[in-house]
Amino acid sequence: MTGIDRIIENALLEDIHTGDITTLSVVPHKRPAKARLLAKEPLVLAGLLVAEKVFITLDKHVSFKHLSADGDTIAKGDLIATMEGDASVLLQGERVALNLLQRMCGTATLTAKYVEAVAGTKARIVDTRKTTPGLRVLEKYAVRVGGGVNHRTGLYDGVLIKENHIVAAGGITQAINSARAYIPHTLKIEIETETISQVEEALAAGAEIIMLDNMDLDTIRSAVALVNGRALLEASGGVSLETVRPIAETGVDIISVGALTHSARAMDISMLLEDY
C-alpha cells in the first residue's frame, strides 16, 4: 500500500489539530496504560497494520500486539489486538485508528459476502472508483482482503470508455479507434454498453472488455451468447447481494459492485483502556 503515511497524518491533524483538550486536562502526564481492541460483531479483519501505524505515528514506543491477521474471520467478542503505551497517546489515536479499521473491516466483510454469493461460477467480484475521497488505497486493499479483485485504481491506469466519453467522441467505434491510436499496446480497452446493438459495435471495433451497464438478465445472457468468449464481459449497475448470483450464472466474467466501497457499513469495534 502507498500513501498510508499521508492518510494517517492528515487524519490525525484533522482530529487533534492544536491538541487534545480533554486528554491534556484530564490524563496525568506520562501515565502508562494498556488497551485492547475488541470486535463487537462478526467481521472479516482488514486494516490492523493501519491501526497500529496510527499509534506508532504518535509515539514509536507504543507496543502493539496482533492477536489476529488481516483476512481472518473474527467472531463477536474476539480480541483483535492489545497495546501498551502512554495513556494520552492511546487516547489521541483511538478514534482515527478505529475509524480507519472499522471502515476497512466493513469493506472486507461485505466483499466476502459477495464473493461467497458467486462461489462456483467463473465471475469475479471487482470494485469501482466509488471510494471515499482520500481513502481509495485503503478501501481497495480491503476489497482484496475480502477476496475481491481491484478494477482500475484511477483514471491513469486503465481505459474505460463510458457513455459520456462515447458522446464526446462521436460514437463507440470512434471512441475505440481514438483510444487505440493513443494508448500503448500493453493496455486493454474497456467500453460501456447499454444495448445488444452497442455490444455488437464494441466487439466489431475491437474492445477487449465490454461493460454491460444496467442490463436485465435476459439481455446479459444474449450478450454472453453473442460475444462467445471474444471479449471479457463485465456486468455493472445496481448489483446487490440478492441479484449478484443470478447475474453470475449468466456467464459473465466480471461483476463490478460500487457498494463494496460506497455503502459498506463500518464494523463495530471498540478500544477499551485498562489500568496498567
pTM of the model: 0.96
Out of 34, 130, 144, 188, pick the active-site residue.
130
- Catalytic annotation on 162? yes
Whether residues 145 and 237 share a domain: the answer is: yes
Whether residues 137 and 249 share a domain: the answer is: yes
- Catalytic annotation on 34? no
- Catalytic annotation on 192? yes
The domain tally of the chain equals 2
Whether residues 130 and 242 share a domain: the answer is: yes
pLDDT, tens digit, 9 for 90 and up, residues 185-228: 999 999 999 999 999 999 999 999 999 999 999 999 999 999 99
- Are 234 and 255 a contacting pair, CB within 8 Å? yes
Q: What is the pLDDT of residue 275?
A: 73
Rg (CA), the chain: 23
- Domain of 100, CATH number, reads 3.90.1170.20
Cell of 52: 497500529
Out of 86, 190, 213, 234, pick the active-site residue.
213
- In degrees and rounded to multiples of 5, residue 52 shows phi and psi of -60, -40
DSSP string, 149-209: B---SSTTS-EEE-HHHHHHHTSHHHHHHHHHHHS-TTS-EEEEESSHHHHHHHHHTT-SE
Out of 15, 20, 78, 95, pick the active-site residue.
95
SS3 label, residue 257: coil
Please state, rounded to an integer, the average pLDDT across all residues of the chain.
Answer: 97
Whether residues 100 and 120 share a domain: the answer is: no
Whether residues 120 and 239 share a domain: the answer is: yes
Domain that holds residue 102: 4-111+264-274
Cell of 4: 498510508
Is pLDDT larger for residue 141 or for residue 1? 141
| Percent of the chain topping pLDDT 90 | 97
Buried/exposed 183-200: b ≥16 CB within 10 Å, e otherwise:
eeeeeebbbbbbeeebbb
Whether residues 153 and 251 share a domain: the answer is: yes
Out of 6, 122, 162, 230, pick the active-site residue.
162
Q: Is the pLDDT of residue 1 over 80?
A: no
pLDDT, tens digit, 9 for 90 and up, residues 146-200: 999 999 999 999 999 999 999 999 999 999 999 999 999 999 999 999 999 999 9
- Catalytic annotation on 130? yes
